[in-house]
Structure 1
Amino acid sequence: MALPTMISATQLQAMIDQPDLVILDSRFYLTDHDKGRELYEVGHIPSALFVDLHHQLAGPETALSGRHPLPSPETFSSTLSQLGVGPSTQVIVYDDMGGAIASRAWWMLVQQGIEVSVLDGGLPAWQAAGFMVEAGVNEATKSDQRIEVSYPWLISEDDVAANFEADRFQLLDARAEDRFQGENETMDPVAGHIPGAMNRPFSRNLNEKGEMKTPSLLLEEWTQLLEHVEQPIVYYCGSGVTACHNVLAMNYAGLEAKHVYVGSWSQWAKRMHRKLSEC
């Protein structure tokens, strides 16, 4: 069954004063980790709280992990409580990159059974609709109903390694084609992609305005791409973030998608680098 996915700016405006609604601003920039919070303080959707990809939607990077490993279930449960998210909360999450960052928050939340949607087009769509923004910092009201967090849709490095023989799933990479092909790698120690993976850059899910393509168009494109694939799909990218955008797009198209290899290429490249160093 497809998961809940997108909400429009007009729909959000109509429900913005609704009780038990939490709006999360997830803007993040890989080359400047402070920029998202700084822009949030300059202007954000009214009542929105800032959520930090690097510190709240990810745990610390280690020598063996990818760049954005999942936080421990206990840590993320505490984060949700601090953000005021409980079992009956409705969450809307947005960014300014067509959902590239917001989709990671969506994926982490929706598998907890939380009702969560991504704002289609993000903050630019909100402002283009003529809706107001506010400056400053909003303080969350802590939820006293703690969510017991688990990550049933997480695929591990060991799962990926075992799949070369088990052949239980098909990997699909959300990075740009040049990175997938190993032609432009500036972040990870080894260029290329996991053997056998297919490529669907997450940007292809968006139209020229940075909004999701229509469900019917996405359904057509994804069906054509996966026409000859018989196994379930496991999604990955550079660090387990934009892979979630492909999961979001699939569900928006009415197709089932859940599983993400969160370590992604940033973890697999470390694995390849270790093996090359041993030679």
Structure 2
Amino acid sequence: MALPTMVSATQLQDMLEQEDLVILDSRFYLTDLKKGYEVYKFGHIPGALFVDLHHQLASTETNLTGRHPLPEPDTLSQTLASLGITNNSQVVVYDDMSGAMAARAWWMLVQQGIQVYVLDGGFAAWESAGYLIESGENLATPTEHRIKVSYPWLVSEDDVVANFEVERFQLLDARSEDRFNGLNETMDPVAGHIPGAMNRCFTENLNAEGFMKSPAELQDEWSRLLQHIEKPIVYYCGSGVTACHNVLAMNYAGLEAKHVFVGSWSQWAKRMLRKLEESDA
């Protein structure tokens, strides 16, 4: 069954009166963890609730995880209930990076069977359309309904290690080409990519105006890449965020995509450092 993917600003404007609508503002900045909430308070789509990618859509980073490990299922279930999200909710999530951050929330929620969409063009598209913007903070109406959360599309570090022997899937890196090639690495202690991985930066899913390319255009581009891949794809990036944008784009194009190595390069880099330390011991 096709997954829900994108809505336009016009479509969202028409949805605002729906009782079961939940709008999530997921603006996030890796180098300033407080900025997302600050820009949300300054101005957001009417009725939108702020969701913190670092604290609500991820658990605490450890020496063995990537930067944004998934929260425990029960923790995410509690978070969804606190946001008033049930199995009957229509959820729209947006950011100001053409879906690069919003796609993480989309991927986490859509695998729970929730009808969740990403706002095409993000907050900029809403502003450009001239629709109403409000300031301050909206408080959610929590629900007692608890969604049973699981992560069937999660791929672990152990899965990636085992894949070197069994070769069940192809890794695809969503980072920029220079970081993939070990250049200009500013986030992680080791530069490069996981051996055998291929690269398609998530920005290639976007047109010059910051909107998702048309399904037909995406299908053509991805199909040309897929003709060289005989195995299912597992998507990764730096910390399991922008990889979800490639999954979103694939589904928008009508192509199957689900699985993400959430630990991504930030977890793999830590593994490499441990192996180096072990060899030097």
Asked whether the equivalents of residues 20 and 88 of structure 1 are also in contact (C-alpha less than 8 Å), the reply is yes
Aligned partner of 1:57: which letter? L
Unaligned runs of 5+ in 1: none
Measured against aligned partners, the alpha-carbon deviations of 1:6-50 in whole angstroms (never above 9, x if no partner) come to 000000000111111000000000110000000000000000000
Task: Quote the residue 1:18 is aligned against.
Answer: 18
Tell me, in whole angstroms, the C-alpha distance in 1 between the residues paired with 2:213 and 2:2. Answer: 17
Does 2:29 correspond to 1:29?
yes
Kindly report structure 1 stretches of 4+ aligned residues shifted beyond 4 Å.
none
Does 2:193 correspond to 1:208?
no
Asked whether the equivalents of residues 110 and 116 of structure 1 are also in contact (C-alpha less than 8 Å), the reply is yes
Q: Could you say what secondary structure the match of 1:171 adopts?
A: strand
Tell me, in whole angstroms, the C-alpha distance in 2 between the residues paired with 1:178 and 1:278. Answer: 29
Q: Could you say what secondary structure the match of 1:172 adopts?
A: strand
Tell me, in whole angstroms, the C-alpha distance in 1 between the residues paired with 2:3 and 2:148. Answer: 20
Task: Quote the residue 1:250 is aligned against.
Answer: 250
Tell me, in whole angstroms, the C-alpha distance in 2 between the residues paired with 1:16 and 1:274. Answer: 50
Please give the residue correspondences for 1:44-83 in structure 2 after superposition, counting only pairs within 5 Å.
Answer: 44-83=44-83
Tell me, in whole angstroms, the C-alpha distance in 2 between the residues paired with 1:138 and 1:201. Answer: 34
Aligned partner of 2:52: which letter? D
Q: Could you say what secondary structure the match of 2:196 adopts?
A: coil
Measured against aligned partners, the alpha-carbon deviations of 1:103-137 in whole angstroms (never above 9, x if no partner) come to 00000000000000000000000010110100000
Please give the residue correspondences for 1:1-279 in structure 2 after superposition, counting only pairs within 5 Å.
Answer: 1-279=1-279
Tell me, in whole angstroms, the C-alpha distance in 2 between the residues paired with 1:260 and 1:2. Answer: 18
Report deviation, 1:70.
0.1
Tell me, in whole angstroms, the C-alpha distance in 1 between the residues paired with 2:233 and 2:143. Answer: 35
TM-score, normalisation: structure 1:
0.99
Report deviation, 1:246.
0.1
Tell me, in whole angstroms, the C-alpha distance in 1 between the residues paired with 2:225 and 2:184. Answer: 24
- RMSD of aligned Cα (Å): 0.6
Report deviation, 1:2.
3.0
Asked whether the equivalents of residues 86 and 144 of structure 1 are also in contact (C-alpha less than 8 Å), the reply is no
Asked whether the equivalents of residues 77 and 148 of structure 1 are also in contact (C-alpha less than 8 Å), the reply is yes
Report deviation, 1:186.
1.2
Q: Could you say what secondary structure the match of 1:24 adopts?
A: strand
Tell me, in whole angstroms, the C-alpha distance in 1 between the residues paired with 2:241 and 2:15. Answer: 28
Report deviation, 1:71.
0.2
Q: Could you say what secondary structure the match of 1:223 adopts?
A: helix
Aligned partner of 2:249: which letter? A
State the identity as a percent: 73
